[in-house]
Amino acid sequence: MDKKVHELLNNQINKEFYSAYLYLEFSNYFKAKGLDGFANWYMIQAQEERDHALLFYQYLQNNNMPVTLGAIDSPDREFADNMAVLQAGLAHEEYVTSLIHDIYAAAYEVKDFRAMQFLDWFVKEQGEEETNANDLITKLELFGSDPKSLYMLNQELGTRVYTAPSLVL
């Protein structure tokens, strides 16, 4: 495996674990606000991100490449309001998308087709993640100022359940 591709894939493990930490922090924020549905939604996001990290980890191991784990930064804990949390989530997903694209570009440059095939799933997943983040923002814009509507949105988000990714390595 190309050195740069290996390094970017390895770094992505920590980026995904950071994403899990970030979404756990979002879950903490909403739990403290009494919005258990929002807290549930972000707890599941954290589980997804953890599993993404493990997919990168497993991919490197399956390709006999060493994995180096680094420290995971603490996420921001200060948010002006509920909308600021959701906007931070969208900005973070856009950032992760750029990271995936960078890895894909590096793999393409050296014709690492196996890595590109592996990353195809993440490219699609990031499209879904950005759409979900945008949808949450739209829903909060529409309903967030009305307590009854916010309650119903919170109930809706509370029904989300975790589904592990089905990516074959």
Mean pLDDT of the 84-101 span: 98
164 within domain boundaries? no
Confidence of residue 167 (pLDDT cuts 50, 70, 90): low
Which pLDDT score is estimated for 129?
96
Show Cβ contacts of residue 44 under 8 Å, excluding neighbours closer than 6 positions.
160, 161, 162
168 within domain boundaries? no
Range of the domain at 152: 3-157
Q: Is a pLDDT exceeding 80 seen at residue 166?
A: no
Mean pLDDT of the 131-139 span: 96
Instruction: Say if residues 92 and 130 touch (Cβ distance below 8 Å).
Output: no
* Angle value at C-alpha 56, between 50 and 59, nearest 5 degrees: 140
The pLDDT mean for the chain works out to 95
Q: Which one-letter DSSP state was computed for residue 75?
A: P
Q: Which one-letter DSSP state was computed for residue 144?
A: T
Alpha-carbon distance of 136 to 126, in angstroms, equals 15
Confidence of residue 145 (pLDDT cuts 50, 70, 90): confident
Show Cβ contacts of residue 151 under 8 Å, excluding neighbours closer than 6 positions.
none
Alpha-carbon distance of 153 to 42, in angstroms, equals 14
Q: Is a pLDDT exceeding 60 seen at residue 168?
A: no
150 within domain boundaries? yes
Which pLDDT score is estimated for 99?
98
Instruction: Say if residues 25 and 75 touch (Cβ distance below 8 Å).
Output: yes
Alpha-carbon distance of 149 to 33, in angstroms, equals 16
Tens-digit pLDDT profile for residues 43-57:
999 999 999 999 999
Mean pLDDT of the 135-155 span: 92
167 within domain boundaries? no
Region for residue 168 given its phi and psi (left: phi exceeds 0; alpha: psi -120 to 50; beta: otherwise): beta
Tokens of 131: 């759409």
Would you mind telling me the total number of residues written for the chain in this entry? 169
134 within domain boundaries? yes
Nearest to 123 by CA among 97, 105, 103: 97
Q: Is a pLDDT exceeding 60 seen at residue 59?
A: yes
21 within domain boundaries? yes
Q: Is a pLDDT exceeding 90 seen at residue 135?
A: yes
Count of structural domains within the chain: 1
CATH number of the structural domain spanning residue 39: 1.20.1260.10
